[in-house]
Structure 1
Amino acid sequence: MREDRLIEIAPQYGLRLSSPGLLLAQRRFASTQPVTPADEIAILNNQREKRPTSPHLAIYQPQLTWIASGFNRLTGVALSGVLYGASLLYLLHPVFPAIDSAHLIQLAHDMPIWLKGGVKLLFAIPFTFHTFNGMRHLGWDMGKGLTLKATYASGYTVLAATAVSSIYLAFFV
């Protein structure tokens, strides 16, 4: 097709030529108009309301790997929070004289055995899980146990070690 013929038929099909022989782009058939920033936000919010939401985790089958990973993060945050909270509480001893070692020891001594064991178990489970899962992650950092079979084996080992050591710490120490 000759160049002059292209120049003649290009406007019919909504095409522009930037220079003779150079086809640039198709003409827009949608009209545009200036929009205020407030209208832009309203349009955007309207589009977001109509957008479908992702099903996120509900469509996935629970797996040991991501449950253990999430629980490891939760136990880390919980243990850190308890440590900081207890430290701040202990620093408040001058303001609240009832918070000292002697009173805390007497409180623990006066608890019934079942309550004492339950409280110890409540602290032992996240502590032992976080410890054993941290050792598992250190192994992964060294390049050990990265196959799928080894990952699941180490995950079940962490769960078993957590159960045994938590019960031991709560009721036999």
Structure 2
Amino acid sequence: MASQRIFQLGLRRAAAPGLRVQPAGRMVQRRLAATEHTSQSQAAELLAKQRVQRPVSPHLAIYRPQINWVSSSLNRISGLTLAGPLYIFGIAYLIAPYTGWHLETQSMVAAVAAWPVAAKAGVKVFFAFPFFFHSLQGLRHLTWDLGYGFKNQTFIRTGWAAVGLSTAMGLYYAFLG
């Protein structure tokens, strides 16, 4: 019953114009969006400009960085930091006899001994942190494989522990070891 009355009231208001004077603002038609005629090439160009400004979905800026995904990224980067030079040196060592390079142990030791102390320390620091971080992350993964440490607080604590310990061990190795 109420729905019929509402429907009839709506029909009456739409059919019969009001007798009183309405403000001019209500009678003027307004467009909230401006439109203009564009060619196909202009439309494609405009669309390309809009795509450049659009964020990648899902946009990473909406997330607060967490130790879990930061340590995962650093673990992969540290693995590449260690594996890349190893592969490059291994290939260079294999082709050294054919190219005339001297990569024997004695020549390598003599070359590194001639470096300044700052260069030796820099190379040690560059390789020490990734080595220890990757090793400690490997231990974290082994504990996960055993079924331990799956609480969120444990993830956070072990992640920060891996960062702190690898920094301390890397600095110790680089300067005192």
| Equivalent residue letter for 2:72 | S
Report runs of 4+ in structure 1 exceeding 6 Å deviation: none
Gaps of 5+ in 2: 1-43
Matched, 1:83 2:92: no
Find the partner of 2:118 among 96, 114, 134: 114
- Unaligned residue ranges in structure 1 (runs of 5+): 1-44
SS class of match (1:93): helix
Question: Which residue of structure 2 aligns with residue 143 of structure 1?
Answer: 147
1:128 aligns with 2:132: yes
**Bigger Rg, which one:** 2
Q: Is the 8 A contact 1:76 1:130 kept in 2?
A: yes
| Aligned mates of 1:121, 1:76 — CA distance in 2 | 15
The structure that is strand-richer by fraction is 1
Q: What residue in structure 1 maps to residue 66 of structure 2?
A: 63
Choose from 160, 163, 167 the match for 2:167: 163
Query: How many Å separate the matches in 2 of 1:171 and 1:100?
Result: 26
Tell me the distance in 1 between the aligned counterparts of 2:120 and 2:55: 46
Measure, in 2, the Cα distance between the counterparts of 1:97 and 1:112.
23
TM superposition score normalised by structure 2 = 0.66
Letter of the 2:166 partner, please give it.
T
Q: Deviations over 1:113-159 (max 9, x none)?
A: 22211111101111110000110111111111111111111011101
Task: Give the letter aligned to residue 77 of structure 2.
Answer: L
- How well do the aligned residues superpose, as a CA RMSD in angstroms? 2.2
Q: How many residues align?
A: 130
Within 1, Cα distance between the matches of 2:80 and 2:112? 25
- Whole-angstrom distance in 2 between the partners of 1:79 and 1:121: 12
